[in-house]
Amino acid sequence: MRANVPSYDLRVPENLPEALALLAREPGTWQPFAGGTDLMVLLEAGKLAQKRFFSLAKLAELRGIEVTADAVTLGALTTYTAVRNDPALQAEFPLLCSAARETGGIATQNRGTLGGNIANASPAADSPPALLAYDAELELISQRGARWTPYHGFHTGYKKMQIAPDELLGRIRLPRRARPWRQYYRKVGTRKAQAISKVCFAGAARMEAGTIGDIRIALGSIAPIVLRAVKTEDALRGKRITPAAISAAQECLAGKIAPIDDIRSTARYRLRVAQNLLEEFLLQLAR
Amino acid sequence: MKEKFLGHSVVRKEGREKVTGRARYVDDLAFPDASPEMIHGATVRSSVARGRILGIRYGDGIPWHEFTIVTAADIPGKNEITLIEHDQPCLAAGMIHHPEEPVVLLAHPDRYLLEQARQAVHIDVEPLPAIFTIEDSLSGREIIWGKDNVFKSYRVNKGDVDSAWARADVIVEGEYRTGAQEQLYIENQGMVALASPADGVTLWGSMQCPYYVHKALTLLFGLPAEKIRVIQAETGGGFGGKEEYPSMIAAHAALLAWKSGKRVKIVYDRAEDMAATTKRHPSRTRHRTGVTRDGKLVAMDIDFVIDGGAYATLSAVVLSRGTIHAAGPYSCPNVRIRAQTVATNAPPHGAFRGFGAPQSIFALERHLDQVARAVHLTPEEFRRRNFIRKGQTTATGQVIHEDVDLNALLDRALRESDYHAKLERFARENPGAAVKRGMGLACFCHGAGFTGSGEVTLASVVEMEATREGCVRILAASTEIGQGTNTIFSQIAADALGIGCDRIEIAQPDTGAVPNSGPTVASRTAMIVGKLVEEAALALKRTLLESGLLNDACTEEEFARACQSYIETRGPLRSRSQYEPPPGLHWDDATYSGDAYGAYAWAVYVAEVAVDTVTFEARVTDFVAVQEVGKAINPALAAGQIEGGVAQAIGMALYENVVWREGRMANGQMTNYIMPTAADVPPIRVFFEEQPYPFGPHGAKGIGELPMDGPAPAILNAIENATDICLREIPATPENIMEAMTEKVGAHG
Amino acid sequence: MADTVAKIKIACTVNGERRSVQAYPMARLLDVLREEMHLTGTKEGCGEGECGACAVLLDGAIVNSCLVPAIDAGGAEIRTIEGIAGGEQLHAVQAAFLECGGAQCGICTPGMVIAALALLDRYPHPGDAEIREGLAGNLCRCTGYQKIFASVVRACEARPAQPEKKR
């Protein structure tokens, strides 16, 4: 434990207006604290520079999963365990359940939240690729009101987000698709469980008689942000899945991702495996 | 003697405490009513790998007057952590030889403030060139230790290798490497110390060898033996990692206690433990092997080098064991082994289960698969043609006197693993499959006890004492670290005395109260110390029988009454046994030849692997471990040792990669140093054969380290069987597998 | 020296007993249990939520107490290893660990027992895959997990005969 614990403040606003007032009054001073599974690790390593936090624990508006005709909307405080257990998500958004299942272990899943995962903005996060594959939208709330923004484009650089200093992530909306898409999720980690991802791939496609009607491809751990491979999607949209199409897509992907060497893995490995996962996804679509 | 408990899976003696959370490890110890107050200690370490200390600066904003501050100048005796050589200081003064080298110690009651203070101490070092690889060390471009960076070398010469090449039809060469490995006991290292010139030094802590700590501190403080007292607390795993290092952390806690007059606790966090404490020695082995065209070994020339880090510590002994095990359980008339341990500017490497043997056996068993291929034999057939048998000699010229039957062990391992059927099935199914499967084997042995005359030098002692209630207390320095010491000692004593296991007490290992039964290392606790326990128990019983107070066939109540009667009329009822070597063992240190160990356990392990060609991950999907162990004193505990050792070795083979940057471990967190979870381990199926060793208790041989030796080569042999790629280095990470598969495809166009 | 915040009162129920302690808001629940409440059965193995040695039940769910800030314990029902046995009567899971050799050095055992309990709460009769997943957050360096799996299976077999423990 390398932090000066007595110097850290963690307040608990009683309700959402109180929390938003705090953010409005002192923007940039107070950081939201959800499950703590990322922030407490930084604290213990002596690397948590931010000293003032406010807990979201009492903000009921940030909890719950709501199913309407158009969408499934999750509160930012939805835990991975809640994601895994939700029937609507299991039925229509299984990639998110797969991602939740692959995040840490059961203990982490009981505390970690989807909102915290998004706000922590790690390029190695497990859920964001699934969110991108589902065209997720984020609700950002402040004293000034609420706005919705697509999750795609929310991260602008390593740990940089399109969120104002007085805003709080409120809900995540997943538009329901008219017909089910084919879906694929694979995380390649350092071991089978409790692992940080080396490469993470989420893919979804609407097939029309052997042709790709529409497609989403999202990857983690291969760039400073979680990435939607838009150019690769464009290259595949409207195509039949042939060996040539797969190769072309793999080459396109290689040109767009920027994996690195780090203490867990190498750029060459990440690139190669990302391409292999793309191929595996496409071959599954072709069956 | 009846075997009421021996050979049975008696429940763990201290098991109840462990499953209820009542077992007290060092960080749980409270001393509520005793003064002085307990304060926390912390260590300030060098961030530079090598250099001259120019000064120590204490930063602003810390109330330094509240702190106890200790440097080398405060050491009352020798500034040295004594093991074999005298090169390792307790606190660096003048020169730095590795990153994380301890320089300053701090103590304070507030552990948060203590941590801030630790970060505020700056060691100014003028850097000197540092070396980090075996090659750099051997090159001599920078001499960092002694005259030539070599801590120790050995040479084994059997027959005449140089003239034997002419008789070989095929010669195969290969180079093999193993990386460092972190012991990763789940309980971090820690010590609590109380020390003053008047009362001496008392230590409580996590350790394997109380008497090692004791010896180191007598020299550090310049105090006589009776002024130092070392007490082992419940210890959460050791695996060798708590053999040497506890002397260092004990010294630090004691120095702070000495200077502050307070009780001082130092418990490392995981980051410090990983960065600063010992790891398995990295190794490089070069084999040159000559065989006849029908696969008979003619000559083995082995070059074995291990990286010892910055100070000598126990590297000479690790080298010794690795050297002696380097040529395996085979009969070869001509063997030369040239072995060295060299210095680099990394924190000193140290004991880790297997102690040199996993490194040299990895190389050998990988290499022999290549040799087999070169003479068109299967891995299995090649081994069969060369297994050592009774009457034949090892590389050091030791005659094998037992009826070792490695063929039978191999038969059993192949049968239990369904080896041939799977080989055939995988060969059929692999082409075109995304996941390729394979089988691999390794054959090996592991010598138990200290090498050569080591046990005679240790001269281990066990004492025993009966109570009025008819309980018998065992007094030994052998520690329980999870392997089952307490339980098997109870079983041995209970059967020897003819009383219940629950009537046996194990005295806490406390140098103030127990004799030196030697360190808890080298797979010696059951075989060597267990035998002393048996002898002491028999001696105690004999005393009672000879006193006329007891008949041989007695009930527990009669035994208790006899003890009471004896104690009341004649005084304490005690016994003592001291190690005597088995007859006929001769070892020559000068020529490094002779009887290296009293007993060998023999084993054949088979690994089944799956290699995913999409992600290049290799997984062990089934594992069979067959070993001949003399006698399994407690089958459940014995199986537990094998299962745990195999899992650690699977980690060593596939997952555990120490990433080095300028001599320091860059991935020193559990998030980034990967050991297998419950989701990663295969079924590990353990089978015992028993051929009693006459000088072990009820025939038992030592087995604690054996399971570390076989899995890594078996796994890489299986990967080669599955994919045709020839990896010669561990860990076989997915990145390395990918590079090898890519190269292979590239080579074939 | 940086500013210090005030300690706050944390009132919670631990092993069925109402407890109230003073702690810094970001202090780890692990430290509150071990140091303020003197419940040393819960262990620190890594301080980063990887090893599970610090696992406890928080409102019935398994969490790594090294990652829970003290303030989140306020009003919560916490169960630690000390609260698993019923007095001197071991819980079926503990008895199974004893019988099957699921503990060697014992340092991971408190967290592992908690994990086994949490697993059996979710799946009264888990299969191999569920057992492995349920325990994957608890690292053991001694056993290779084999006898821990066996302990969980034994605990399932024994459970119908045991009185159901309250969450």
| Residue range C60-77, pLDDT digits in tens | 999 999 999 999 999 999
Q: What is the dihedral of CA B2, B3, B4, B10, to 10 degrees?
A: 160
- The shortest C-alpha distance from C58 to chain A (Å) reads 10
Strand segments, DSSP code E, in chain C are: 8-14, 17-23, 55-58, 61-64, 77-79
Output the six-digit token pair for A268: 């060459």
Residue pair B249/B266 in contact (Cβ under 8 Å)? The answer is yes
Higher per-residue pLDDT: B46 or C160: B46
The full DSSP string for A93-156 is -HHHHHHHHHSS-HHHHHH-BHHHHHHHT-TT-SHHHHHHHTT-EEEEEETTEEEEEESTTTEE
Number of C-beta neighbours around residue A11 at 10 A = 17
Q: Do C72 and A36 touch (CB under 8 A)?
A: yes
Residue pair B252/B89 in contact (Cβ under 8 Å)? The answer is no
Mutate to test the interface with C, among B116, B186, B634 (most CBs of C within 10 A): B186
Search chain C and give the residue with CA nearest A108. C63
Chain C hits for A112, CB-CB cut-off 8 Å, are none
Interface membership of B148 toward A (CB under 8 Å): no
User: What are the backbone angles phi and psi of residue C51, rounded to the nearest 5°?
Assistant: -100, -20
Q: Do C113 and B19 touch (CB under 8 A)?
A: yes
Domain locations in chain C as residue ranges: 8-83, 92-158
pLDDT over 60 at C164, yes or no: no
Structural domains in chain A plus CATH codes: 5-55 (3.30.43), 60-175 (3.30.465.10), 182-286 (3.30.390.50)
**Facing residue for B186 by CB, picked from C45, C98, C113:** C45
- The shortest C-alpha distance from B678 to chain C (Å) reads 5
What pLDDT was estimated at residue B34?
74
Q: Do B679 and A277 touch (CB under 8 A)?
A: no
Interface membership of C55 toward A (CB under 8 Å): yes
Chain A hits for B736, CB-CB cut-off 8 Å, are none
pLDDT over 60 at A74, yes or no: yes
- The shortest C-alpha distance from A67 to chain B (Å) reads 34
Residue pair A132/A226 in contact (Cβ under 8 Å)? The answer is yes
What pLDDT was estimated at residue C160?
59
Average pLDDT over chain A, rounded to whole? 97
Q: In what order do the strands lie in the sheet with B190-196?
A: B68-70, B102-108, B38-45, B263-267, B190-196, B200-205, B228-232
Interface membership of C136 toward A (CB under 8 Å): yes
Quote ipTM for the complex: 0.97
- The shortest C-alpha distance from B564 to chain C (Å) reads 31
What pLDDT was estimated at residue B1?
66
Strand segments, DSSP code E, in B534-582 are: 574-578
Output the six-digit token pair for A182: 């084919």
Task: Scan for tokens 């202090």, then name that residue.
Answer: C27
Rounded Cα gap, residues A264 and A262, in angstroms:
5
What pLDDT was estimated at residue B748?
60
Question: Residue B666: is it exposed, middle or buried by C-beta count within 10 angstroms (0-12/13-18/19+)?
Answer: middle
The separation between CA C137 and the C-alpha centre of its own chain, rounded to angstroms, equals 12
Going B558 to B559 to B562 to B564, the CA torsion angle's sign is negative
What pairs with residue C8 in β-bridges?
C23
What pLDDT was estimated at residue B745?
82
Rounded Cα gap, residues B205 and B191, in angstroms:
4
Q: Any idea which architecture C8-83 has in CATH?
A: Roll (3.10)
Name the nearest CA neighbour of A57 among A34, A82, A39, A74.
A34
Q: Crossing angle, helix B734-747 and helix A267-286, to 10 degrees?
A: 80
Rounded Cα gap, residues B488 and B6, in angstroms:
8
DSSP reduced 3-state for B410: helix
**Residue ranges of chain B whose pLDDT lies below 50:** 749
Indicate yes or no: pTM above 0.90.
yes
- How many inter-chain contacts (B to C, CB under 8 Å) are there? 171
Q: Any idea which architecture C92-158 has in CATH?
A: Orthogonal Bundle (1.10)
- The shortest C-alpha distance from A146 to chain C (Å) reads 28
Mutate to test the interface with A, among C4, C28, C67 (most CBs of A within 10 A): C67
What pLDDT was estimated at residue B749?
45
Higher per-residue pLDDT: B76 or C167: B76
What pLDDT was estimated at residue B552?
81
The pLDDT-based confidence of C2 (bands split at 50, 70, 90) is: low
Mutate to test the interface with A, among C26, C31, C79 (most CBs of A within 10 A): C26
Name the nearest CA neighbour of B633 among B515, B520, B489, B477.
B489
What pLDDT was estimated at residue B333?
98
Q: Do A264 and B672 touch (CB under 8 A)?
A: yes
pLDDT over 70 at C1, yes or no: no
Between strands A197-208 and B587-588, the pairing is unpaired
pLDDT over 50 at C162, yes or no: no
Residues 6+ apart with CB under 8 A from B179: B282, B656, B657, B658, B729, B730, B731
- Half-sphere exposure of residue A162: CA atoms within 13 angstroms, side-chain side: 15
Chain A residues in contact with chain C using a Cβ-Cβ cutoff of 8 Å: 1, 3-12, 33, 36-37, 40-41, 43-45, 51, 53, 55, 57, 81, 104-108, 110-111, 192-194
Interface membership of A267 toward B (CB under 8 Å): no
Q: Do B18 and C145 touch (CB under 8 A)?
A: no
Q: Do C25 and A9 touch (CB under 8 A)?
A: yes
Name the nearest CA neighbour of B702 among B643, B628, B648, B636.
B628
Interface membership of B739 toward A (CB under 8 Å): yes
pLDDT over 90 at C165, yes or no: no
Chain B hits for A107, CB-CB cut-off 8 Å, are none
- The shortest C-alpha distance from A103 to chain B (Å) reads 13
What pairs with residue B401 in β-bridges?
none
Average pLDDT of the residues in C16-37: 98
Cα–Cα separations (whole angstroms), residue B561 to B93, B316, B557, B568: 61, 52, 6, 11
What pLDDT was estimated at residue B554?
86
Counting as contact any 3 or more CB pairs under 8 A, the partners of B are A, C
Interface membership of B111 toward A (CB under 8 Å): yes
Q: In what order do the strands lie in the sheet with A71-75?
A: A65-67, A71-75, A168-175, A137-142, A145-150
**Facing residue for B667 by CB, picked from A263, A268, A273:** A263
The full DSSP string for A244-282 is HHHHHHHHHHHHH------SS--HHHHHHHHHHHHHHHH
